[in-house]
Amino acid sequence: MKGVWETVRSALLWALTLLHFWISVPVLIFLAIFLDPRKHDWLQRGLCRRIARFSGAHIEVRRAPGFDAQRTCFFMCNHVNLFDPFLLYNAIPQYVRGWELESHFTIPVYGWLMKRFGNVPVPDVRRPSDLKRLWRQTQAALDSGTSLIIFPEGKRTRDGSLSEFEDGGFRLAQQLGVPIVPVTLAGSFEHFRTGHWMLRPGVVTIVLHDTIETAMMTKEDVPALRERVREIVASGFEMR
């Protein structure tokens, strides 16, 4: 009976989540045609809060003493499932967008919405010209006061473990002198596993770690910075 109840509960949670998403998104698209998304950021945050709630995720946010909420920065986070952006938007107390694969921008409706909202496309093919474009668009977002979420693993976890981090975001942080905030999503894998469909209600703890300065770093410091951030993200799993 337990298995039947979990299946029924998961189906109901999905129904609530998707129904709310497809009702709310057209409204946000309509507003985005006429208004700067900053003007209705509170509506976007409301959508994310309700998506989290309807999917069964109870969010707890922990901020380290050295986290500076006023700094425009890169939020470097482990990547678990498709709910990550919605959960993070509940936790980050500033205007924030994200790096997203360029191929996602070709998805009907969703891709247009992400472009209008200001997500930065990450090239699927990393030619020098594409990387320069990424550099320019990232710089433009930062100059406008927009912080960016980056998933340095480059993929979602399939077993709950933390994969190795890629260099790209760290190299750009060093070149631009952008501070980094390591972020840990703990409990998200238990809530929803990529490759499965069951939603399991539970607590997701989001840890915003101390802000790390990069302004004085050189390219030789990037590997150590990458590993330092990965270790900090991993340490957050023990804080649940």
* CATH number of the domain that residue 202 is part of: 3.40.1130.10
Quote the number of domains for the chain.
1
d(CA 32, CA 185): 29
Tell me, yes or no, whether 27 lies in a domain: no
Tell me, yes or no, whether 50 lies in a domain: no
Tell me, yes or no, whether 19 lies in a domain: no
pLDDT bucket at 27, cuts 50 / 70 / 90: confident
Tell me, yes or no, whether 40 lies in a domain: no
Tell me, yes or no, whether 14 lies in a domain: no
Express each pLDDT in 43-68 by its tens digit.
889 999 999 999 999 999 999 999 99
Beta bridge partners of 97: 148
Tell me, yes or no, whether 136 lies in a domain: yes
Q: Give the range of the structural domain holding residue 111, as residue numbers without chain letter.
A: 56-239
Query: What mean pLDDT, rounded, does the chain reach?
Result: 90
Tell me, yes or no, whether 130 lies in a domain: yes
Tell me, yes or no, whether 126 lies in a domain: yes
